[in-house]
Amino acid sequence: MTFQRARSEEQKEMRRQAILDTAASMLNEMPVAAVSLNELSRRVGLAKSNVLRYFESREAVLLELLDDFLGSWLAVLAEELSEGIESSAAPEVRTNQLAGILSRSLADRPVLCDLFGAQGGVLEHNVSVEVAKRHKRSSLARLETMTELVQRHVPELGDSAQRFCLISLVTAGALSSYVPAPASLLAAYAEEPALGVLHVDLQDALRVAFTSALMGVLPRA
């Protein structure tokens, strides 16, 4: 793909979106850590210096994708929670349903979890103050949306809902780094079954973590 120089605002926005779309496609093929600015530039058909006209760094591209993916996921999550949580059930039942839906939904989105995992330790370390502020404002808005969804179905959580939502996303990022397990580890588990207790299934691990966190903050009668 080769681009002519973008002159109009519409052309610039198309160029910007092409960079994001290309980066998103790369994330379907490789982990966040493997996405390089050189390869992104090659695939989008621009010199690296031209890509940097639109995004100040690789990390800035990935942070914007994180926000886009998070927004899309929250729209789907709203439907999943409405369909999967019984409004008339006891609080303990609804929290278990919430944990199950959240864990399944996040486990089905390994790219989003991988971005969460890289967010604090990598992606936020090579951006300007302005990009950092824009990213954090957007992150706060997404967190508020998620908090409202959780409170709608489990109002008993009260103010603890926001803390739970934040920790749940951080947990998803941390646990996703263990999956998929490399072939050498899978072979070790097969040869020594006792080691299998260390094997992480993302959905199961998230469900246990979310259930424990919810039970810890759910008010007791």
Query: What's the pLDDT at 207?
Result: 97
Amino acid in the structure at residue 110:
P
Q: Establish how many alpha carbons lie within 13 A of residue 150's alpha carbon, considering only the half-sphere containing its beta carbon.
A: 29
Name the CATH architecture for the domain at 58-217: Orthogonal Bundle (1.10)
Give the burial class of 85: count Cβ atoms within 10 A of its Cβ; 0-12 exposed, 13-18 middle, 19 or more buried. Answer: buried
Query: What's the pLDDT at 7?
Result: 67
How crowded is residue 40: how many other Cβ atoms within 10 Å of its Cβ? 21
- Segments of the chain assigned to CATH 1.10.10: 1-55
- Segments of the chain assigned to CATH 1.10.357.10: 58-217
Alpha-carbon Rg for the chain in angstroms: 20
For the residues of the chain, what is the DSSP string, one character each? Answer: ---PPP-SHHHHHHHHHHHHHHHHHHHTTS-GGG--HHHHHHHHTS-HHHHHHH-SSHHHHHHHHHHHHHHHHHHHHHHHHHHHS-TTS-HHHHHHHHHHHHHHHHHT-HHHHHHHHHHTTTGGGSS-HHHHHHHHHHHHHHHHHHHHHHHHH-GGGTTHHHHHHHHHHHHHHHHHTT-SPPHHHHHHHHH-GGGGGGPPPHHHHHHHHHHHHHHHHSPP-
And the tokens for 159? 């103010």
Residues 6+ apart with CB under 8 A from 199: 181, 185, 189
- Render each residue's pLDDT in the chain as its tens digit; 221 residues: 444 555 678 888 999 999 999 999 999 999 999 999 999 999 999 999 999 999 999 999 999 999 999 999 999 999 999 999 999 999 999 999 999 999 999 999 999 999 999 999 999 999 999 999 999 999 999 999 999 999 999 999 999 999 999 999 999 999 999 988 899 999 999 999 999 899 999 999 999 999 999 988 777 64
Angle at 100 between CA 98 and CA 106, to 5 degrees: 95
Amino acid in the structure at residue 50:
N
Query: What's the pLDDT at 64?
Result: 97
Query: What's the pLDDT at 217?
Result: 79
Report the top-level CATH class of 1-55: mainly alpha
Query: What's the pLDDT at 1?
Result: 46
Give the burial class of 79: count Cβ atoms within 10 A of its Cβ; 0-12 exposed, 13-18 middle, 19 or more buried. Answer: exposed
